[in-house]
Structure 1
Amino acid sequence: MNTKKANREKPKIALFGPMPPFRGGISQYTFQLQRVLEKKSDLLTISFQKQYPRLLYPGKTDLDPFYKGKLIQKVYYILDALNPFSLLKAVNLVVDYGCEIAILSWWTLFWSPGFSFISSRLRKKGIKTVFLCHNLFDHDSGSLKKFITKILIRNADGYLVHSSEQKAILTSMFPDKIVLQNPHPIYQQFPDPKKRLKAKGKLELLFFGFIRPYKGLDLLLEALAKLNDPEIHLTVVGESWKDPNELISYSRGLGLKNVEFHLEYTDEVSVSEFFQRSDLVVLPYRSATGSGVATIAYHFEKPILATRVGGFLDMVIEGKTGFLIEAGNSDLIAKKIASLSRKSLEKMKPAIRDFKKSFTWESMTSKVLEFHSQLVIRK
């Protein structure tokens, strides 16, 4: 088969989102989606030259300190929210490339105006657009932020979400637009653990990820204090968006001696070791949409204790892949943990192994191509 002819037959798609060396789950998400999507399409990927102004990013940096590679080939690192010409440059690049559809990552109000503007310009030029919604609204956002987001998010032809909750919201808001749902795929970039970390006591808990108020770590610490069991250990891994000394002081104030803190951004080798050691990954979120942390837990075949919010309702099969409790209640967290054992959690691995088969990047790619079929081919 003629290669040039085959490439012309593939749909021309633009993908917008953060890519390495930018750090975080959404950057890894875009990267892994790109790797599969480029096999099925003639793909143009556009990322950031500058993702956030320094004052608006509470972490140490938005670049991955452990990233060893060069900028990824075939990715245009051009976007800068404070430079409107970079947005126009991205639009012109998509038009000149001949893209038929554009997929734009949607997760924070800071970038919503820029992506809404890009989407508007592309639609005026006859290019269909889809918002890939990691979060409809910023975590901890108030009514004003939600109001602004609702205005900006209208500017797309379709939406791709991970949770049934978000699908219901968007279907209600835009009954005439296409809304597709697909499970959050499993992150697969982690190396095999070498099992250097040995489990302590009778139960090893793990809280992982950026530490922000909505994630409920304070409730988990309170639950651990109520259990008052030195044989139940908790490891906290992740960069705190507030002063980490406050978190350590809070833990000490509760009298906890069985908590191990690693309050920094962690390399993938260490992540593998922490997950491998754990018996249970605890996600006591006060609110949530999807969760990349949950998919990492499933990658390592670890059960989850999560709250009945957002995407967790779709991601956890009660008693088989994990457990769900009501949000905001440290007593319920303590009660559930007290009922579990290392042996009982180990028995859940086969169910997790089977369940995670549907959390694939190939499935996400199929949904993107379904949008192309519905918005472009059948228009």
Structure 2
Amino acid sequence: MPSNQRGTPVTTRFRVLAYNSDTVNPDIAPHRAQIRRHGLSEQVRLDAGYVADADVPRYFAAADVVVQPYVSATQSGVAQIAFHFDKPVITTDVGGLAEIVPHEEAGLVVPPEDPAALAGAVTRFFKEERAETLAAGVRTQKEAHSWTPLYDALEELARSA
């Protein structure tokens, strides 16, 4: 029997929490209308505005992946916070984001302003069940960029002096 749910089989299997912090164009009404038009109101929740520090862990705990469709950026504090919570990131290749999120290791990186590539990466993340593999890569990245390697290098330098 055909389902009356719209969307790809992937989108009907999970829920999306979208957060819009666009200060240039903060009007999310058109996005809400599009969500309703596609019959995805039960799968997509769109929040906008400031998230209090106390609420940040709840947002990240609810996420399987953090998607950052930046058009331009230099770096992303959100990617660093996602890593703190061991969450893989799907982002665009702008600024230094590809350096923070090594492609296929701690997340997926797609060209900016390419909605098809972004949608493909999100679909692939879920279809290929990449959450655990990429979360392990996030933990590897965190360890590589922690204070421990620097401390070890300085300690070795001091011993050899």
TM-score range, shorter chain: 0.7 to 0.9
d(CA) in 2 for partners of 1:253, 1:287:
29
1:289 to 74, 87, 106: 74
Deviation of 1:343 (Å): 4.5
Q: 1:328 to 1:240 in 2, by over 3 A?
A: closer
CA RMSD of aligned residues (A): 2.5
Larger radius of gyration: 1
Deviation of 1:273 (Å): 1.1
Q: Give the TM-score of the pair, scaled to structure 1.
A: 0.33
Match of 2:36 in 1: 252
Are 1:320 and 1:351, in contact at CA under 8 Å, matched by a contact in 2?
A: yes
1:234 aligns with 2:19: no
Deviation of 1:267 (Å): 1.6
1:232 match: secondary structure = coil
Deviation of 1:324 (Å): 0.8
1:352 to 113, 138, 153: 138
Match of 1:64 in 2: none
2:92 to 300, 304, 307: 307
Q: Give the TM-score of the pair, scaled to structure 2.
A: 0.72
1:272 aligns with 2:57: yes
CA deviations on 1:144-166 (whole Å, 9 max, x unpaired) are xxxxxxxxxxxxxxxxxxxxxxx
Are 1:284 and 1:327, in contact at CA under 8 Å, matched by a contact in 2?
A: yes
Deviation of 1:315 (Å): 0.8
1:306 match: secondary structure = strand
2:114 to 329, 348, 352: 329
CA deviations on 1:50-80 (whole Å, 9 max, x unpaired) are xxxxxxxxxxxxxxxxxxxxxxxxxxxxxxx
Q: Percent identity?
A: 26
1:262 to 40, 47, 51: 47
Moved over 6 A (4+): none
d(CA) in 2 for partners of 1:309, 1:232:
28
d(CA) in 1 for partners of 2:44, 2:35:
8
User: Structure 1 regions of 5+ residues with no counterpart?
Assistant: 1-224, 364-379
Q: Which amino acid aligns with 1:301?
A: D
Number of aligned pairs? 137
Deviation of 1:290 (Å): 0.5
Are 1:290 and 1:310, in contact at CA under 8 Å, matched by a contact in 2?
A: yes
Q: Which amino acid aligns with 1:246?
A: P
Q: 1:319 to 1:239 in 2, by over 3 A?
A: closer
Are 1:227 and 1:338, in contact at CA under 8 Å, matched by a contact in 2?
A: no
